[in-house]
Amino acid sequence: MQFIDLAAQYQHLKQRIDKRIQTVLDHGNYIMGPEVEELEQKLAEYVGAKHCISCANGTDALQLAMMVLDIKPGDAVFCPTFTFFATAEVIAYAGATPVFVDSDARTFNICPQDLERRIQQVIAEGKLVPRAIVAVDLFGLPANYPELEKIAAKYQLKLIEDAAQGFGGEIEGKRAGSFGDIATTSFFPAKPLGCYGDGGAIFTNNDEYAALFRSYRVHGKGKDKYDNVRIGLNSRLDTIQAAILLEKLAEFPTELIARNKLAEYYTEQLSDSYTKPLVPESYLSSWAQYTIVSSNRDADMAKCKEKGIPTMVYYGTCMHQQTAFSGLSYTDNDFPVASRLAKQVFSLPMHPYMTEQTAELIAGLVNQSSQVVG
């Protein structure tokens, strides 16, 4: 049994993907070839953004956002503590200070109320300049952008959507990748839309930002790559990865339906002894992971392993608990919800090629595990 069955997806798309790769091998434009531009156009159209700029990976997408917004030492950038390390890493790499925010207990995403409280604290202290918010679409569910956009406007902050896990999610029909001033995503293989290596992309409606992104991703180029007008990165999406993503994007709407059907089945069948993920009204999740909360996580996961069910923990260590950020002097008491979630969440197998029989087997065995532990 696979946690994410990439092999099954490849077998389904094999002829189309192989043909795309062969086309790249035939024309030989391996870096920034025609498939890259084609993919950027189709991604922008899918998301509903004016510009899509591809790059080497999701972390670079976030780092490029820091560069375009000129985030620097003395700045405060607010982000969730319950997230993957890259979200906060790029803030620190820019020399700015990450200010961590607690989670919403039911959606697992950044809590707007705690966010505003921490913005007010930073303003009152007067040591840092509030500059931006990075919100994460955790496990596939878009963050609460209607509230986050109000807060960003109120305090004149830039809002960045980290849609690495949320690609395909929606709020009232508006797709992940289209919220805030800048959105980023990752094409890491395990993501809802993933390639066969590293890859990432940035979305924006701002023409000036888009031009800067295109320059920064190729060594800060001007009229060409040998005319360098600023200090940038080497962060380009390989043409072969773009070719693979074109076929995966074409299939993505169908896969999204299958992901949601599987999530609905899990929610219906799993024991109420688990806290199951909430999708608020008018929201759609892309279900990067199906994550449940258990007060007996370690024992539950051990029982699942005995029964051959792979499970994973995303994320067992919050940002405020990371050694790299120990100098910020946070404690678990500062983030009671996120600290609890880090000890209690675990994720079940989730992919669009799972059979009904396998889903039924997983739900039944996970329920048995809960009964044995409970």
Residue 369: predicted pLDDT: 76
Per-residue confidence (pLDDT) for residue 238, from 0 to 100: 97
pLDDT for the residue 285: 98
Same domain for 85 and 177? yes
pLDDT above 80 (res 349): yes
- Specify if 71 maps to a domain: yes
Q: Tell the residue number behind the tokens 């024992």, with chain if given.
A: 299
DSSP state of 332: G
What percentage of the chain has pLDDT greater than the value 90?
A: 97
The span from the CA of 134 to the CA of 50, in Å, is: 20
CATH at 18: 3.40.640.10
Which of 190, 130, 192, 189 is CA-nearest to residue 163?
192
Residues 124 and 13 both lie in one domain: yes
Tell me: do 240 and 272 sit in the same domain.
Answer: no
Question: Is 206 within the bounds of a domain?
Answer: yes
> How far apart are alpha carbons 65 and 184 in whole angstroms?
8
Same domain, 236 and 328: no
Q: Average pLDDT of the chain?
A: 97
What is the domain extent for residue 263?
253-373
Check whether residue 183 and residue 259 sit in a common domain: no
- Please enumerate in sequence order all residues whose Cβ is within 8 A of that of 236, keeping only pairs 6 or more positions apart, or say none: 31, 32, 36, 54, 55, 56, 217, 218
Q: In Å, what is the CA distance from 332 to each residue of 31, 104, 138, 228, 339?
A: 45, 15, 20, 45, 6
Residue type, 133: I
Looking at the structure of the chain, the number of domains it has is 2
Q: Return d(Cα 299, Cα 349) in angstroms, integer.
A: 18
Name the nearest CA neighbour of 83 among 354, 325, 358. 325
Q: 79 near 133, Cβ under 8 Å?
A: yes
Of the pLDDT bands very low, low, confident and very high (cuts 50, 70, 90), residue 370 is confident
247, 268, 289 — which closes off a domain?
Answer: 247
- Is 294 in the same domain as 237? no
User: How high is the pLDDT of residue 372?
Assistant: 55
Concatenated DSSP letters for 87-123?
HHHHHHHTT-EEEEEPBPTTT-SBPHHHHHHHHHHHH
Cα 306 to Cα 47, 291, 299, distances in angstroms: 41, 19, 11
**Domain stops at, among 229, 247, 265:** 247
1 inside domain: no
Question: Given 247, 271, 305, which residue is the final one in a domain?
Answer: 247
Give per-residue pLDDT as tens, 77-120.
999 999 999 999 999 999 999 999 999 999 999 999 999 999 99
Statement to judge: residues 57 and 21 lie in one domain: yes
Q: What is the CATH number of the domain that holds 367?
A: 3.90.1150.10
139 within some domain: yes
Alpha carbons 121 and 63: distance in angstroms, whole number: 26
Q: Is the pLDDT of residue 208 over 60?
A: yes
In this structure, the answer to whether residues 27 and 159 fall within a common structural domain is: yes
pLDDT at 67 exceeding the cut of 60? yes
| Phi/psi at 145 (5° precision) | -65, -30
Task: Give residue-wise pLDDT tens across range 181-202.
Answer: 999 999 999 999 999 999 999 9
